[in-house]
Structures are given as structure tokens and as C-alpha cells.
Structure 1
Amino acid sequence: MSLPIEPAVVLEILDEASREILEVYERDDFGVEHKADDSPLTEADRRANEVIVARLTERYPDIPVLSEESKEVPYADRSCWERFWLVDPVDGTKEFIKRNGEFTVNIALVENGVPVFGGVARPTEGVIFFGGPELGAFLREKDGKVVTLDQSARPHFRELDRITVVASRSHLTQEVTDFVEDLRGKGKEVEFLSAGSSLKLCLVAEGKADVYPRFGPTMEWDTGAAHAVVLGAGRQVNIAETGEPLVYNKENLLNPWFIVE
């Protein structure tokens, strides 16, 4: 399968959005508001969203965009989309407000429910994770060097005696604690690694973590871009209850619990 888009174009858009975000990040006042669900929204979210949606629409006018910060698209309209952009302008707004740098910009291209390309930028570090199942996975470092991420030969986490589990910095649940304790009960030595936003999926793609159990709420735009990178690196994102692959453009955009393995 050949991609209908140019990865370099997406990386340029991520860089432009990152610059917009950092302009706000360096201020004393982020312009924080709260949405209907009480989740925070900053000027950075709005500015990044405007840049991303505008640039994607200019370059690829035939591919619709679904973004966390844009007007909701009814399922009756998007159910017929075979291909679309899935965007989270600032994933980890709570991390942004805390100024810990662990927030990302996520752009994914989804085809028939599968993320076929994704780019995940970490503005404060100047790096971008990108890739997809047919492309492979890569890390563009701050100096522009591109490193290949290939975990296809890495054993499944349950085959390891020592396991690095990555979990959320802001949303640790009892179920994740139970997951870790279950591994320890089976004689596994477990190291616990905490991170914010979609960086958790990228840590598995990068090989710094063996598994990411997400037993808490996420939306499709939270995971799509990093999911593509994980697939490119030779790992999987599976629904915790069924073991089936996580899919996109569902009627309900809320993800079920999943495991990156």
C-alpha cells in the first residue's frame, strides 16, 4: 500500500504547530479555559488546531479532518469516510499546564479504521515520532537525524523476566496497579515508568518500555498517531477484553481499554 500523502508535509505541519504552542508555553498566562466536560483548553490548543486543520485542508482538500478541538462531526456523516485525518493539537493539556514538557501534537491518517500513518511531535524537545505499518517507525531528533525504531524482534512482554511497564502520569488507575501486581505475582521483576500523553505509546515503539496497559478513558485522537508509530515499530495495540486490534472512526469515539504490547 502506498501512502496517499507525503510524510514530510505532515512533519512540516507538526513543526509549525509546535512553534505556535511554544509561543504560548513560554508565557506566564496560558489563557486556560474549561470545556463542557471540565477538561482544560488553552490558547495553544486553539492556535495549533487552526494551523493543523488549515494546512491539511490546503494540501489535501479531499481528505476530511476530525480534530478534538473542531466542531463535532456526526457519525452519519463520517461513517462513510474511508480515509480521514485524526488530530489532537495538544495531547496532554494537563501536562502542558504543569509545565513538565510531556505533551504532544498528534496527527494520524486513518484508512478503513486503521491508522496508516502518524506523527507525534514533542515540542519542548524538538523531536517527532512518525511512521506506519507499511512505512516503519522513526524518530526525528532535534538535530534532524532520523533514527529507525524496530521492535519486531523484541519478545512479547509476557515472555520476559524483567518487564518495564509504562503508565500515565496523570491518570493512574487501580486496574493498572493490579496489572503490575499480577505480573509480580507470577515472579516477574517489574519496573514502573511514568509518562504523559501519547508519549507512553511511543516509549513502547522506542523500546524503552515493554508494555503500556491503558485501563482508563482515552479518545481516538489521543491514540491514533502514536498507534500508527507502534504498528510501524512492529508492536500492537489491542483491546484489553478481546485481544482484537483497536480500531477507529467508531460511532462512539471513546476507546475501550487497551494494551500496547
Structure 2
Amino acid sequence: MTMVETSGEDPAAPAKGSSFYLAMRILPRAKREAMFEIYKFCRQVDDIADTEGPRDARLAALDSWRADVEALYAGQPAGRMSGFIEPLQQFRMRKNDFLAVIDGMEMDVVSDIRAPDLSTLDLYCDRVASAVGRLSVKVFGVPEADGIALSHHLGRALQLTNILRDIDEDAGIGRLYLPREYLDAVGVAIRDPKDAIETDLTPACAPLVAAAREHFGKARAIMDRQPRTAVRAPRIMAEAYAPMLDALERRGFAPPRERVRINRAHLILAILRYAFI
């Protein structure tokens, strides 16, 4: 599930007007370039998960990325990982977090995720979002324990918001990330995503909205005790996404669901507040 937009010039590059690009653009050069390398890595493995090619071929492509990660940490980086040579030396990102991102994409390739149980959904969020956070906080300079906790909470907050935003788009490619426990609790026994989106999913989505909001709150509490410069970028991401969660809750989840996007005014104000003021 894609977190951010790409540039038309380079399919693996962030779009220059995207929330990710604007949030990371304020960083010092070395940190900015490291974050763009992390983005490119995540985008390329995410694209493998979201294509419609044969599953065996996509699994092999993900295995190729695993081999490239191993080669990077063995001091023999492949060309597409060569941009990590300096960031790895400077920021000491962990190999297991790169591999966790690939494992998360593999969950979408092995079979289309449809109404996972809560523990599977949480594992998915940890791999595709919080693992990215664990790579990122190394670059931002957040201390170890708080960095892991911030990655846990902000990663899940952002990913759950994406899941709530993208229900219809995900159903179009055969996926339904809403947990089965919440669907069963409100009597929605439908597992076919295209059938499920014809249903009022508001009761099943409400617990995810509450969980995302709780994760945002815990992430903010962690950021509040960090040096301002260490958490400027994650604060901007949180300030961009939290209002979108509010907008999704106001809209509800009954069909037809109007697309909710990041509020550009909130994003610009967050950039001004945390980057320049």
C-alpha cells in the first residue's frame, strides 16, 4: 500500500509537491538525501507488491532485493543500493528493518490480504510502516528507545489512516485490510472486497479510527520530549495526516465514499511552524 506520491520524472522519486517531499526537504542535505534513498527503496519494493504480474516472479523480485540488502551490509552494494553507502556509515540503519519492509511487501504478494485478523494486520503495519520509521529515526537522530517507540506509534497511525482512506482503491486490486474481528462484530461477514465496499463500513472502521488517533497521541507525546530539530520531519507528517483522519471520520464509511486527501493548508502551516518558526 503506497504511502506517498511519486514524481512523473522518476517513478521511484517522491513527487515534489507530496507531503513526504515537503517534510523531508527541510532536512540538512545529508539527512535529506538519506531519506530520499529510503523512500526510493520502499517505493521500488512497494511497486513489486502492487503490480499484477505472476506471484512467483514478484516473490523472486523481492528475494533479489533481499540479496541486495545482504550485499550492502557485506560491503558489496549492488548499483540500486549504492546510494546507501554513505548514509549507512553515517546513520547506522539496521539491516533487519530493510528486510522487514520487504517481508511486509511479500505479505501482499503471497496472497491478497482480505480481512486479516488483528495480529496479522498489526504485523503488516509494523513491517510496511513502522520498519520504515525505524530506518528514518536513525537519520533524524532520535535516541534509540524513543526512536523505536515513535516508529511504532507514528508508523501505525499513518498506515491505519492510509487503510481507512484507501478502502475503495484497495478493493479494486482485490484487497481488504479491515480486520475480520471488527467486520464480524458488526455483522459484516463479507470477505470479497468488491462486495464489502457496497456496505456501510462505518461501524467496522470506527475502532481503527480510534486506534489511529491513540497512536497519533502517543507519537506526539514522544516527540514533545525530543529536541525540536530531531523531530521536525515526523511532526510535519503527523500534522499532515491527523486532519485527514478527522476528515475521514466526519465523512463516514458508507458508500459512495468521496476521496479524502491531505489538506494542503494544514501541510503548509505545519512546514512553516516546524521548519522556519
Tell me the TM-score normalised to structure 1 length: 0.32
Larger Rg: 2
Report the TM-score, using the length of structure 2 for normalisation: 0.30
Return the structure number with greater helix share. 2
